Amino acid sequence: MDMSEALRTIMAASPVAAGEAFDCIRALKTHSPMIGARFNNVVKIAFSDPDAAFTPEQRAAITELIDISSDNRDAWFRMRVTADEYEAIRQAADLEGLSMSEWARRKLFS
């Protein structure tokens, strides 16, 4: 099972995680550097869903894809924006299949 297939399996088995899984598929297609963290989050949501219907084989295959590498981001940068600015950032990030943080990081450091 590859990550794309795992995300589709998650979408089918866990209604709670389906939206995040869909966003993760978009991020996967844009080669987001945050895909590992996004995938891990989707798996966490899906495996915590009491109504999720995974077979033991599906759980094992999905678990094999979890990225356990550490993220060295340990500081926060916060910025206040207007509601309109927030929405513009959210839409721009969505169009590129990125989280708002990753979108902003790319704009700042590219």
| pTM score of the predicted model | 0.62
Delimit the domains of the chain by residue range: 3-109
Render each residue's pLDDT in the chain as its tens digit; 110 residues.
Answer: 899 999 999 999 999 999 999 999 988 888 777 788 889 999 999 999 999 999 999 999 999 988 766 566 667 788 999 999 999 999 998 888 888 888 898 899 87
The DSSP code sequence of 27-86 is HHHTT-TTHHHHHHHHHHHHHH-TT----HHHHHHHHHT---PPP-----------HHHH
pLDDT value of position 69:
63
